[in-house]
Amino acid sequence: MMDGDILTIEEVAKYLRVSEGTVHEWAQNGEIPAGKIGTLWRFKKQEIEKWVNARLSTQVIEPQYGSIQIENIVSPDRILFLNYAAKRDALQALTDNLAKAPQVKNRQELAQEILKREDLMSTAIGRGIAIPHVRLASITDLVVSVGISRTGIVDFQALDDEPVRLLFMIAAAYNQHAYYLQTLSFFSARLKNRDLRVSLLAAETPQEVYDLLLKTHGA
């Protein structure tokens, strides 16, 4: 069994939802951090995570679907206040909530794939934020569930070691790659605003959180 900190081309391809050939080409061209053990490409988990987060933070994504409209992907009934010390419990609560959305057709698959993605690589991006995300054929349209944790979740293993308290779970249809990346980038960029993070954590109702998120549009 391979060390969990070292990933194969197949594992990286599954995580990034691209073909193994694409990962191989990126490695050959030096576009993704990689090294060779003999003739085989290998990838350090932490370096891939940093690479992904850097791309989410800086990559300009072509607005194939126009700008992100919060009201189309989030609603007050998909905003939860959490109080779990373990990330698995928090992810399960968000998954259960998100599975109630009409866009989600297979609750079990959603739960399995969210946990599988998290086991492969943490979705914590620092500043107390995690953005668990999947694309699935059983999702009909992109939808988001938001968790505001009253407890710092320490086992997300964020790069900055800060406990996670803000969770944005994104589920998209398998053919929504551009929209999916655009949404990830949107939340990653907006949540760099410290005042917004503080306000979200101080919110007392789902409606208050929703109103704060609506104000992020076009910020």
Domains of the chain: 6-58 (1.10.1660), 70-215 (3.40.930.10)
Q: What was the pLDDT predicted at 3?
A: 47
Instruction: Report which DSSP code applies to 219.
Output: -
pLDDT score of 62 more than 70: no
pLDDT score of 101 more than 90: yes
Greater confidence (190 vs 16) lies with 190
217 is catalytic: no
Question: pTM score, two decimals?
Answer: 0.73
Q: What was the pLDDT predicted at 108?
A: 95
Give the separation between CA 93 and CA 103, rounded to whole angstroms.
17
Element (H, E) at 26: helix 20-28
Residue keyed to tokens 């003739």: 39
